[in-house]
Amino acid sequence: MTNFKNLRGMVDLLPAHSQGWQKVESIALKHFSRAGLNEIRTPIIEQTELFSRGIGENTDVVGKEMYSFDDRGGRSCTLRPEGTASVARSIVQHGLLNNGPQRLWYRGPMFRYERPQAGRQRQFHQIGVEFVGLPSVMSDAEVISIAWDFLKDVGLVDLTLEINSLGSNEDRNVFKEELKNWLNQRFDLLDEDSRKRINVNPLRILDTKNKSTKELLFEAPSLKDFLSNKSKIRFDYLLDLLDKLKIPHKINNNLVRGLDYYSHTAFEITSEHLGSQATVCGGGRYDGLISELGGPRAPSIGWAIGMERLIILAGEKILQSKSPDVYVIHRGDKAEQLALEITCQLRSFNLKIELDYSGSSFSKQFKRADKSRARWALIIGEDEASKGQLLIKKLRHKPKDVESNEYTFLKEDLDQLIKKLID
């Protein structure tokens, strides 16, 4: 086999699916624009250190999933594994916060070197929102509601919003020490993975899928008992606001998420219809990231939605492409010129026109017209061409109306023809 193939985990978006993506993206744009967000586009390659510093040296994403390489100048570069770090970098670099808080959205490909499986690819696409420089609890609620409303509008059902508070950095550090102690006392009861994590990233152990460790953890100290009063009040208020917005939510005290920069609010929107990769949207608050990258103190919150997973959930319906309004059938040299001319004219009226190129018999062309699911056929043969006439025929009509579904117009009376096509 000498033919070329796409790299593992890299997926072509084929014509049969592209209109579905466009549909979803246009719904997203509608939601973003009415929420007053502006788009930001950043490069898909950054210097490696941006991600290792921003996302966290000990995270799985940085530790084993990055597409990194040295460029010809010997600089270590990385294909972005997520969007937030790049957006934060750009905001700091261009001093955008001097113009006040930033409400932004982005979309594009992300890269993670993992074994592909259902709902997971090496190149995948995220569409995301970042509210930067807004400490208010209201912004948490607003940001979540944008995601929720968007997903609902796309037609998704059976979604669950899981939410947790990680507290402030101080809360969490106290808790981490306490948890480490507790875990170390039960070291030989832990599974291998969790043992490795104790010192590196003890919080992630809370999220373990290992059964016996999970049972053990029922007795473990809980992060929520270490939240300061301030953090608790903040979280409770957020839950209140979500109630007011009628967004159902489930508190999940073990929801930690894999990126280091989160504090206070962490959330995921999941679906039971996705197989084992259940998260369609993940996000949270990152109050320290901007300053960590050299910017001002700018508490922020955002989320990212996985487009591929979203499309899976939206299902077949959204992938169906729009059928043409008119399928143009023609035969003969003179007819061909008129057909092209009329096709272009009709398109200027925003009608979707498909022009037959086969030059085969009328019978064949009609068959193709039918297959295209067009509402109308426009027929130009030798007769029409010489008389300057246009014949249209309504397709997909009940047989009893056969005699009444053809109409002839002079090519000068295009506006009458269009009127007929539209009604």
- Pick from 82, 84, 79: which is nearest to 68 by CA? 79
Taking the complex as a whole, the smallest distance from the CB of residue 99 to RNA amounts, in Å, to 27
Cα–Cα distance measured from residue 413 to residue 18, given in angstroms and rounded to the nearest whole number: 36
Strands (E), 44-134: 45-47, 67-70, 76-79, 102-111, 123-132
Taking the complex as a whole, the smallest distance from the CB of residue 120 to RNA amounts, in Å, to 4
Taking the complex as a whole, the smallest distance from the CB of residue 23 to RNA amounts, in Å, to 18
Complex with RNA: residue 178 or 191, whichever CB lies closer:
191
Kindly tell me the burial class for residue 259, based on how many C-beta atoms sit within 10 Å of its own C-beta (0-12, 13-18, 19 or more): buried
Complex with RNA: residue 138 or 189, whichever CB lies closer:
189
Cα–Cα distance measured from residue 389 to residue 409, given in angstroms and rounded to the nearest whole number: 6
- Pick from 66, 8, 303: which is nearest to 161 by CA? 303
Provide the CB-side half-sphere exposure for 419 (13 A, CA): 6
Complex with RNA: residue 94 or 387, whichever CB lies closer:
387
Taking the complex as a whole, the smallest distance from the CB of residue 95 to RNA amounts, in Å, to 27
Complex with RNA: residue 56 or 97, whichever CB lies closer:
56
Taking the complex as a whole, the smallest distance from the CB of residue 423 to RNA amounts, in Å, to 18
Complex with RNA: residue 232 or 278, whichever CB lies closer:
278
Taking the complex as a whole, the smallest distance from the CB of residue 348 to RNA amounts, in Å, to 25
Complex with RNA: residue 230 or 396, whichever CB lies closer:
396
**How far is Cα of residue 75 from the mean position of the Cα atoms in its chain?**
31
Side chain identity at 234, as an amino acid letter? R
Taking the complex as a whole, the smallest distance from the CB of residue 289 to RNA amounts, in Å, to 13
- Pick from 328, 325, 396: which is nearest to 358 by CA? 328
Pairing of strands 76-79, 389-394: unpaired
Complex with RNA: residue 97 or 330, whichever CB lies closer:
330
